[in-house]
Amino acid sequence: MSKSTSPTSDEIKQHAKAASKDLGDNAREMARDAAGAVRDQATHQAQSIKSGVADEVSDVASALRKAANDMRDGSPQERTFGQIAGGLADVSDSIRGKDLGEVAHELSTFAKRNPMLFLGGVALAGFAATRFATASARRDEDAQPKTASTMSSGPSASDATDSYTRHVPKTSGGLS
């Protein structure tokens, strides 16, 4: 008897196992690479947001410092605004110098030690954000060129005509 050249069932199983293992290894490697890319993108986004927050805090500190300088020297308001501006400048520097995890941990610790101050700060930040958003919307609105259609507060005459012609059935011929 001569030996057959066709693969045996054991060889087929071995080949299938090896192919399955290779496929699994490739899938795990691709998943690790994808997770790494997502993690890198998330870190980049977080750093960008952190930098934006630090810039905003710094801008608020500058505005408070300017307001303090415009007030009467030695007045309680001038001293208070100056102290707040200095504190916000320190916060901005602290945000820039730490990673996001450290900032979150410090914020959590601060909130646990000073819950009323934390809630007051959050409320103040909310009011400031609302005012900022409102002012930005007005500035964007003012920057748009005025046309006859944007200055009109109600529907135009052409709107009324269009509405009328849509709802009135067309008749054949002239007036009856």
Say if residue 176's pLDDT is above 50: no
* Average per-residue pLDDT for the chain: 78
pLDDT recorded at residue 25: 92
Give the tens place of pLDDT for each residue, 9-48. 888 989 999 999 999 999 999 999 999 999 999 888 888 8
pLDDT recorded at residue 82: 87
What tokens does 8 get? 């045996």
Average pLDDT on 69-75 reads: 85
- Cα distances (angstroms) measured from residue 94 to each of 57, 84, 103, 122, 140: 11, 15, 8, 18, 32
Residue 92 one-letter amino acid: S
